[in-house]
Structure 1
């Protein structure tokens, strides 16, 4: 069950109201993921998806988004425990967060990983272009992978990350630095989620995971 978190194609929004949509959806309601969700489905043979918007204002802190993820994690567990959501036999939980959604994803993982019933089913958490990575703590005893780009103009380098979003290229605590790209043209220097499609597929293949690309 790849659970995906994000919001806006670059992962940052200015809320038009105090209450953002934090409901789980079975489809990519905001057409955010640009094929990344389908790639995960094919790579891990799992089409049971949930999506949730994890964006917040540009100057929001990782701590704030982490706590919102904690709340979402409790909501997710309540749905699983009540039977409203179910896992197929042998199915695991996989969490994927992009940009501001990285802290949110870590918050969800912190709750799921401690649950006696579902903690052992949490296979991994992937953090793509994580925003404010140095302020995010990944839960222990869970596989966590970070995918970052040095030229990322939202979260790694330049005036926007330094003065407005307070983010820089750092390794998150408790994760494996799975892939660090150097320079990337387009997509705000490689921040946009869809810029990762080919790199993720190549990473999985190098790890022995067969991925079929549908043109």
Structure 2
């Protein structure tokens, strides 16, 4: 009687070239990396991060050493003897230009706490997709501008059914970004390795939901990290 067997996972044809992932894992094994279920851990230090890419790795994987990181996915990294500045100046300018807000009058705060975001009398905003895109870009800007996190979080509650009043508050965030284009995070070179945590609450003073709004920030030494 003929038996049929099914493979639990696909086989690799012996005539096919070795997959790039396999070649990488073989190389990592030479440096005593442990890998299991796509999680890779280093058993011992391989090279210092400041050292150039090994010549053997360059030839095998066409790796190019780009030097010190200066710009990556909208993030700008500026180094000085006193530390590292992380900001998104160009990304913010492009963002404001796309929204047509380069010439708007700036404001000093990203959110108006007296504004009632849950207003049943406010008409619906006509372009839900544009509003979702706007809020998504706000969240990306929180990478170097954590002080707009609260405003972005509040507005994100209305992405499925935005109202004109919500777009009005989002416009205020844009005006705030216009005023503080150069803002970013600075990581001090001589900062102490000491973790500090600060938290606070407004004790149910937020008019939109009548609940306490809490916030926190985490520092390593004098550098804000969260």
- Fold match (TM-score > 0.5): no
Scaled by the length of structure 1, what TM-score is found?
Answer: 0.25
Larger-Rg structure: 2
Q: Indicate the structure whose relative CO is greater, using CA pairs within 8 Å and at least 6 residues apart.
A: 1
Q: State the TM-score, normalized to the length of structure 2.
A: 0.24
